[in-house]
Structure 1
């Protein structure tokens, strides 16, 4: 499992879910595609993508270590792991039915992250970090 990160976005090599940074300078300016109502720190956004990768892997259904890792990542997000699984399942179902995902707090479609001019500039293009999972 690998999370690819730039200063403004994070993607997974195993899932269509992503994290993006909102305009702003606060520490809590990250959002997850599947948990867009909550403002998150960078650490929480990484944990959310890792949680998604763990839940999305059918080989880990009966893996007790994976279950503990899922609970750990959910704790970092400040939610119960069962709620995280439900949110991810809803996103998967909506995507499979071709529904446009909506962020209630933003009041509009969540088709792709809205990047600021700074994020679209040359600085954001070059640097991609690999965040290894725990």
Structure 2
């Protein structure tokens, strides 16, 4: 799990989401691919990318600590962890739909997803593979 941070972009070796700098006279603003329409600081963009990686890493063993860390990252973006999970899950589903369309395999909305959802906000919840639970 590693973020690549430059002066203009933040990418991940774990997820396809990105953050990029939109230049401006005041130094610019950062935008997350999974949180469009929000102007962020560089620190918030890093937190948003780190949050995506945290929720995408299903190998973490201390789930309570991971969820606490994720909640802090979400808070820095002005949102609750549950909202971040829903937004990231929606991005996964949209990417899957676009990929299926491109491959000519579009399934009905009730069909199973091919990727697991991000870690649930409820520590006792189970990881899902066919939508948000």
If asked which structure has higher relative contact order (CA below 8 Å, sep 6+), I would say: 1
Structure 1 pair 25/66, CA: closer, same or farther in 2 (3 Å)? farther
What is the TM-score normalised by the length of structure 1? 0.69
Instruction: Give secondary structure in 1 for the equivalent of 2:19.
Output: strand
Structure with the greater alpha carbon radius of gyration: 2
Task: Tell me the distance in 2 between the aligned counterparts of 1:26 and 1:19.
Answer: 18
Task: Tell me the distance in 2 between the aligned counterparts of 1:26 and 1:79.
Answer: 25
Q: Partner of 2:90 in structure 1?
A: 90
Q: Partner of 1:35 in structure 2?
A: 35
Instruction: Give secondary structure in 2 for the equivalent of 1:97.
Output: helix
Contact 1:27–1:41 under 8 Å retained in 2: no
Runs of 4+ in 1 over 4 A off after TM superposition: none
Q: Tell me, which stretches of 5 or more residues in structure 1 are unaligned?
A: 100-134
Q: Where in structure 2 are the equivalents of 1:45-124 lying within 5 Å? A: 45-60=45-60, 63-98=63-98
Q: How many residues align?
A: 99
Contact 1:28–1:39 under 8 Å retained in 2: no
Q: Tell me, which stretches of 5 or more residues in structure 2 are unaligned?
A: 100-133
Structure 1 pair 60/26, CA: closer, same or farther in 2 (3 Å)? farther
Instruction: Give secondary structure in 2 for the equivalent of 1:60.
Output: coil
